[in-house]
Structure 1
Amino acid sequence: MEIKFNDFQKQYKSHHQKFDKAIKGVLNSGWYILGTQVADFEKKFAGYIGTKYAVGVANGLEALQIALLALNIGPGDEVITTSHTAAATALAIISVGAKPVFVDIDEYFHIDASQIEEKIHSNTKAIIPVHLYGQSVDLDKIMAICRKHQIHLIEDCAQAHGATYQNKKVGSFGIINCFSFYPTKNLGAFGDGGAITTDDKYLYDKILQLRNYGQKNRYEHEVYGLNSRLDEIQAAILLVQLEYLDRNNKTRQKLAAAYVKYLRQVKQIKLPPARKNSQSVFHLFVIEAESRDGLIEYLKSKGIATLIHYPIPVHRQPCFKEYNSYLPVLEDKIKVILSLPIHPFLTKREVKYICENIKNFYKSL
Structure 2
Amino acid sequence: MTSIPFSLPVIDQPVIDEMMDTLTRTGWLTSGPKVRALEEEIAKFIGNPRVLCVNSWTSGAMLMMRWFNVGPGDEVIVPAYTYTATALCAMNMGATPVMVDVKDDFTIDPAKIKAAVTERTKMILPVDIGGYPCDYDAIADVLADPELRGKFRANGKRQETLGRILVLADAAHSLGATYRGRACGTIADVTVFSLHSVKNITTGEGGAIALSLPDGFDHDAEYKYLRVMSLNGQTKSAFEKNQPGAWRYDIIDQGLKVNMPDLCATVGLAQMRRYKDSLLPERKAIFKYYVDFFSRFDWAVLPPAGSADGTESSYHLFLLRVRGFDEARRDRMIQLISETGVGVNVHYIPMAMLTLFRNRGYRIKDYPHCFDLYQNEISLPIYNKLSEEKLAVICQSVADAYQETVKG
- TM bracket (short chain): over 0.9
Output the CA distance in 2 between the equivalents of 1:243 and 1:256. Answer: 22
In the TM superposition, what are the counterparts of 1:322-361 in structure 2 within 5 Å?
A: 322=360, 324-325=362-363, 326-361=366-401
Instruction: Name the SS of the counterpart of 1:297 in structure 2.
Output: helix
Residue 129 of structure 2 corresponds to residue 126 of structure 1: no
Q: Distance in 1 between the 2:269 and 2:397 partners?
A: 38
Distance in structure 2 (CA, Å) of the matches to 1:322 and 1:294? 31
Residue equivalent to 1:80: 77
Residue 254 of structure 1 pairs with residue 273 of structure 2? no
Match for residue 193 of structure 2? 179
The alpha carbon displacement at 1:93 in A equals 0.5
Q: Provide the residue aligned with 2:135 in structure 1.
A: 138
Counterpart in 2 of 1:197?
210
Superposed CA deviations along residues 314-360 of structure 1, whole A, max 9, x for unmatched, are 23322223251411111222111110111111122222222223333
State the structure with more CA Rg.
2
Distance across 1 between alignment mates of 2:302 and 2:205: 31
Q: Does the aligned pair in 2 maintain the 1:285–1:340 contact within 8 Å?
A: yes
Select which of 339, 342, 365 maps to 1:301: 339
Query: SS in structure 1 opposite 2:7?
Result: coil
CA contact (8 A) 1:101 1:323 kept: no
Deviation at 1:214, TM superposition (A): 1.5
Q: Is the 8 A contact 1:107 1:273 kept in 2?
A: no
Unaligned 5+ runs, structure 1: none
- AA paired with 1:142? I
Q: CA deviation at 1:157?
A: 0.9
Q: Secondary structure at the match of 1:183?
A: coil
- 1:168 pairs with 2:182: yes
Q: TM-score, normalised by structure 1?
A: 0.93
Aligned equivalent of 2:170, options 136, 142, 156:
156
Q: Is the 8 A contact 2:169 2:191 kept in 1?
A: yes
SS in 2 for 1:177: strand
State the SS of the aligned residue for 1:207: helix
Please say if residues 210 and 223 of structure 1, whose CA atoms lie closer than 8 Å, have aligned partners that are also in contact. yes
- Could you say which residue in structure 2 is the equivalent of 1:245? 275
- Deviation string 1:172-208 (CA, Å, 9 cap, x unpaired) is 112221111111100112x211111114323312211
Change (3 A) 1:36 1:300: same
Question: Counterpart of 1:292?
Answer: 330
The separation in 1 between residues aligned to 2:264 and 2:187, in whole angstroms, is 26
Which residue of structure 2 aligns with residue 22 of structure 1? 18
Equivalent position amino acid for 2:299 in 1:
Q
Quote the Cα distance in structure 2 between the aligned partners of 1:347 and 1:84: 31
Tell me how far apart the structure 1 counterparts of residues 130 and 380 of structure 2 sit (CA, whole Å).
12
How much has 1:219 moved relative to structure 2?
A: 5.0
**Post-superposition offset of 1:144:** 2.1
What one-letter code is carried by the residue in structure 1 that aligns with 2:333? Answer: L
- Tell me the alpha carbon deviations over residues 225-262 of structure 1, each in whole angstroms, 9 at most, x when there is no partner: 11111101211221111022222221121111111111
Paired residue for 1:53, among 50, 58, 80?
A: 50
Aligned 1:263-274 pairs, distance under 5 A: 263-274=294-305
**Residue type matched to 1:2 in 2?**
S
Amino acid paired to 1:7: L
Find out whether 1:69 has 2:62 as its counterpart.
no
Counterpart-to-counterpart distance in 2, 1:146 and 1:205: 28
Contact 2:47 2:183 in 1 (8 A): yes
The question of 1:5 aligning with 2:38 is answered: no
Give, in whole Å, the separation in 1 of the partners of 2:196 and 2:69.
27
Aligned residues: 358
Aligned with 1:283 (options 311, 316, 319): 316
CA distance in 2, matches of 1:356, 1:257: 16
SS state of the match for residue 259, structure 1? helix
User: Whole-Å Cα distance in 2 between the matches of residues 317 and 157 of structure 1?
Assistant: 22
Is the 2:30–2:262 contact (alpha carbons within 8 Å) kept by the matching residues of 1?
yes
- Give the aligned residue type for 1:201: D
Q: Could you give the per-residue CA deviations for residues 36-74 of structure 1, whole angstroms, max 9, x where no partner exists?
A: 111121122112122121111111100100011111111
Task: Give the whole-Å Cα distance in 2 for the aligned partners of 1:98 and 1:245.
Answer: 36
| Offset of residue 127 of structure 1 | 0.9
Q: Give, in whole Å, the separation in 1 of the partners of 2:136 and 2:292.
A: 29
In structure 2, relative to structure 1, the CA distance for the partners of 1:178 and 1:323 (3 Å cut) is: farther
Alpha carbons 2:43, 2:51 under 8 Å: kept: yes
Sequence identity (%): 28
* Equivalent position of 2:356 in the other structure: 319
Please list every run of 5 or more consecutive structure 2 residues that lacks an aligned counterpart in the other structure.
Answer: 150-163, 213-218, 237-247
Which residue is equivalent to 1:210? 229
What SS does structure 1 have at the residue aligned with 2:360?
helix
- 1:112 matched to 2:109: yes
Q: Residue 159 of structure 2 corresponds to which residue in structure 1?
A: none
